[in-house]
Amino acid sequence: MNAYSLAVLSAGTFFLTALLCGVWKYVQMVDSETGQAHFYVDTAHRASLMYAFACVLIAAFVNISQLGATLELVATALLVIYFGIAILTYILQGFKAETDNQVHRASGAVRVFMWTLIGAEIGGFLILFYGVITALL
C-alpha cells in the first residue's frame, strides 16, 4: 500500500460513510418533531463528506510531493486514521444520543486523545505540504 492508494481508498470509504449517514440523517429528520437529526448524526454526515474530499486533496499532494514513499505513507496514515476515528466517534455519539458536546467535561484520556489528533492531523499535513512546496519551488 502506498500513500496515494491509501488516500484514494480512504476518500471512497469516507464518501460511502457520508452517503449512509445521509440516509440515517434523513430518517431522523422525517421522524423528528423538530425536523432535525441528532447533532452527532448531522456531524457524522458532514464530517464524512469533509474528510472524503480532504483525502482527495491529500492524494493530490502525495502525487506532487517528492518526499520518500515511507514518509508520505506515514503522514497520510496519520491523517486518515484520525479522520476515521473522528467519524466513528461521531457515529457512536449519534447512536447513543446522550450529548451534543462530547468534549464538554471530557475525561483526561479524551483530552490526551484530542491533543494527539491535533498533532497528528496538523503534523501529517505539514509533512505533505512541505513535500509539495519543495517539489514546486
Tens-place pLDDT, residues 8-32: 999 999 999 999 999 999 999 999 9
Residues 56/14, Cβ–Cβ less than 8 Å: no
- Cell representation of residue 4: 496515494
Q: pTM of the predicted model, to two decimals? A: 0.94
The 8-class DSSP code of residue 35 comes to: S
* Best CA proximity match to 72, nearest among 126, 3, 8: 3
Q: Find the helix or strand (DSSP H, E) in which 68 lies.
A: none
82 lies in which domain range?
A: 3-136
Tally of domains within the chain? 1
Tens-place pLDDT, residues 59-81: 999 999 999 999 999 999 999 99
* Secondary-structure breakdown of the chain: helix, strand, coil percentages, each rounded to the nearest 5: 80, 0, 20
Torsion of CA 39, 45, 46, 50, to 10 degrees: 150
